[in-house]
Structure 1
Amino acid sequence: MATYYFHIRHADHVVVDFEGSAFPDLTAARQEAIETLRELVRHALMKRGQEIPMGIVIHDERGAWAEEIDIATAIPEIVPRLR
């Protein structure tokens, strides 16, 4: 198992994950990041006035960037459809 860190990206700041979580691989961490971002956005929308997170930046246990999940990836329904 590898440790991955989910840093929550807002428009003007990042909330750093200092604890991390163990996952079998990056694919599993990515899926969890998508679910986490969906939950965070849902919670922010219900708490009117709370800042909506823009994405989650995943770092590996060495601190290296592994992937970024943005709101459009986690919730594609909110992206305007172009014709």
Structure 2
Amino acid sequence: MPKFYLHIVYADRIVPDLEGISFTDLEEAKQEARDSLPDLVAQALLSRRPDIPLAINICNANGDAVASVATDAAIPQLSPAAPPASGGGPGNGR
């Protein structure tokens, strides 16, 4: 099984994964990153740390970046709301 390294990205630094984890494939590594990000954000908020992880970069055993999972992709509630659809309501210019 290939080994991947999940590096945690903050605004001012990257915390490297020095050990790595063996996964079946890249998709399994990306799922682990998606599953880990909500917990990392919760830990930061509960401890009142100002640094919230922005993403997890996934590297292969050669150190090549092969994927990145952004926090807002892992926690959809953090994504900006879509603008309301225009329609026949008030203020639509009709």
Fold shared by both chains (TM-score > 0.5): yes
Cα deviations by residue, 1:42-80 (Å, 9 ceiling, x for unpaired)? 111111134111110000111111100011111011112
Taking every aligned residue pair, what percent have the same amino acid on both sides?
Answer: 39
TM score, norm. by length of structure 2: 0.84
Give distance in 2, aligned partners of 1:49 and 1:36. 17
Q: Which runs of 4+ in 1 moved over 2 A?
A: none
- How many matched pairs? 83
Q: Which has the higher contact order (CA 8 A, sep 6+)?
A: 1
Of the two, which has the highest radius of gyration? 2
Give distance in 2, aligned partners of 1:9 and 1:76. 18
Partner of 1:15: 15
Give distance in 2, aligned partners of 1:50 and 1:19. 26
For the residue of structure 2 that corresponds to 1:41, the secondary structure is helix
Q: Which one has a larger percent strand, Structure 1 or Structure 2?
A: 1
Partner of 2:73: 73
The alignment yields a C-alpha RMSD, in angstroms, of: 0.9
TM score, norm. by length of structure 1: 0.94
